[in-house]
Amino acid sequence: MFDIAVIGAGPAGATFARLMAGQGLNILLLDGQEEHNSKPCGGLLAPDAQKALAHFDLVLPKSILVDPQIFSVKTIDVARRKIRYYSRHYLNIDRYAFDRWLVSLVPGTVEKRKGRCLKLERESEGFRLLVSGEGKKDWIQARQLVGADGANSLVRKNFFDHPVKHYVAIQQWYRNTGADAPFYSCVFDEETSESCSWSICKDGSFIFGGCFAPEGCREAFERQKKRLADYLGFDFSRCIKTEACLALRPRRLRDFQTGKDGVYLIGEAAGFISPSSFEGISSAILSGSMLAEAFLEGGTAERTAARYRRKTAHLRVKLALKMGKRWFMYTPLVRSWIMRTGIGSIDVWPSGTEAGQ
Identify the pLDDT of residue 181: 60
Residues 278 and 41 sit within 8 Å (Cβ to Cβ): yes
Distance CA 24, CA 226 (A): 56
Residues for the chain: how many in total? 357
Identify the pLDDT of residue 357: 42
Q: Any residues with CB less than 8 A from the CB of 83 and at least 6 apart, and which?
A: 74, 75, 76, 77
Identify the pLDDT of residue 41: 79
| Helix locations, 194-254, DSSP H | 217-232
Domain boundaries, the chain: 2-38+95-165+251-327
User: 27-36: per-residue pLDDT in tens?
Assistant: 999 999 877 6
User: 10-29: per-residue pLDDT in tens?
Assistant: 999 999 999 999 999 999 99
Fold of 2-38+95-165+251-327: FAD/NAD(P)-binding domain (3.50.50)
pTM: 0.93
H or E segment and range at residue 131? strand 126-133
Identify the pLDDT of residue 318: 96
Residues 9 and 29 sit within 8 Å (Cβ to Cβ): yes
User: 37-63: per-residue pLDDT in tens?
Assistant: 667 778 899 999 999 999 999 999 999
Cα separation values, 299 from 95, 122, 159, 259, Å: 36, 21, 22, 15
Distance CA 204, CA 207 (A): 10
pLDDT < 50 positions in the chain: 351-352, 355-357
